[in-house]
């Protein structure tokens, strides 16, 4: 947005994709490999949702959510952890309650705009040479000037298979069909968010993450970053 980011210092790489595409794992690993900061934009939406629920406000009411956000001290650590009033949030952001409410919070265009401003300002922190940000609209809306924009592409069936395996690994018995239906519904809802809808845009590099190991995918990403040289923004 003109005027909002007058002197950006850090370089930005964005990884966008649908739920379960593996983008957060890749973004975290890529940031660590580069010595850059990882910005987990989904965790910021989750932290806001956490605060809204703590305040017993309605996540479906944009004004209530904005009012909670305006009073929040939110900050990010280099490993992507989000801190609320100086307290690092981890497992409390990954509960079924947050899962159920976060889409309501993220559906409000006014809330997205306000949160995006906070995420954009991270670029001006002097503490890191670059940011790797993951999300749905990190490249298209949050950091449109990013040097490298990647869309992480994985089929619905493979994303559901991975989510199902992850649930089983932590002892949550869930039917595969339910996981698949949940992801399909979330995809549909997010596809209705206009400019913020997760999809590959013109100029994006598309990373097919259906089969490669994390190591192979990271190698590919590092090659793309290296090919930028040092002159790009």
Question: Which residues of this chain interact with ligand C5P, rule CB under 6 A?
Answer: 19, 41-42, 45-46, 102-103, 106, 135-138
The residue (of 103 and 147) whose beta carbon lies closer to ligand C5P is: 103
Q: What is the CA radius of gyration of the chain?
A: 17
CA distances from 147 to 181, 188, 229 (A): 35, 29, 10
The residue (of 189 and 220) whose beta carbon lies closer to ligand C5P is: 189
Compute the least distance from the CB of residue 231 to ligand C5P, in Å.
28
Compute the least distance from the CB of residue 89 to ligand C5P, in Å.
12
CA distance 73 to 15: 26
The residue (of 10 and 22) whose beta carbon lies closer to ligand C5P is: 22
Compute the least distance from the CB of residue 19 to ligand C5P, in Å.
5
Compute the least distance from the CB of residue 193 to ligand C5P, in Å.
7
Contact 147, 12 (CB under 8 A): yes
Structure tokens at 227: 């090919």
The residue (of 89 and 225) whose beta carbon lies closer to ligand C5P is: 89
Give one DSSP letter per residue of 118-165, joined into a string.
HHHHGGG-TT-SEEEEEESSIIIII-TT-SEEEEEE--HHHHHHHHHH
Neighbour order of strands in the sheet with 205-208? 37-40, 130-135, 11-17, 148-153, 205-208
The residue (of 133 and 217) whose beta carbon lies closer to ligand C5P is: 133
Structure tokens at 14: 């964005």
Compute the least distance from the CB of residue 177 to ligand C5P, in Å.
20
Compute the least distance from the CB of residue 58 to ligand C5P, in Å.
17
Compute the least distance from the CB of residue 219 to ligand C5P, in Å.
23
The residue (of 123 and 136) whose beta carbon lies closer to ligand C5P is: 136
The residue (of 20 and 34) whose beta carbon lies closer to ligand C5P is: 20
CA distance 163 to 196: 23
Instruction: Note the helical H segments in 35-131.
Output: 41-54, 62-70, 96-107, 109-121
CA distance 35 to 78: 9
């Amino acid at each position: 947005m003109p005027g909002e980011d007058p002197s950006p210092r850090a370089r930005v790489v964005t990884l966008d994709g649908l739920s379960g595409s593996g983008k957060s794992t890749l973004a975290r690993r890529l940031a660590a490999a580069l010595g850059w900061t990882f910005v987990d934009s989904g965790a910021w939406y989750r932290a806001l949702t956490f605060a809204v629920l703590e305040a017993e406000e309605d996540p479906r009411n944009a004004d209530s959510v904005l009012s909670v956000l305006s009073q929040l001290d939110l900050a990010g650590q280099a490993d992507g952890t989000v801190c609320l009033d100086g307290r690092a949030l981890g497992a409390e952001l990954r509960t079924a309650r947050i899962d159920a409410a976060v889409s309501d919070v993220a559906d409000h265009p006014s809330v997205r705009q306000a949160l995006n401003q906070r995420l954009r300002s991270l670029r001006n922190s002097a503490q890191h040479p670059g940011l790797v940000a993951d999300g749905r609209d990190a490249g298209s809306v949050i950091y449109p000037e990013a040097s490298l924009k990647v869309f992480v592409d994985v089929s619905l069936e493979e994303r559901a298979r991975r989510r199902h395996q992850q649930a089983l690994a932590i002892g949550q018995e869930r039917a595969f069909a339910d996981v698949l239906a949940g992801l399909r519904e979330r995809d549909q809802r997010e596809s209705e968010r206009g400019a913020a809808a997760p999809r590959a845009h013109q100029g994006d590099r598309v990373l097919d993450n259906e089969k490669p190991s994390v190591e192979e995918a990271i190698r590919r990403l590092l090659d793309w970053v290296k090919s930028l040289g040092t002159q790009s923004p």
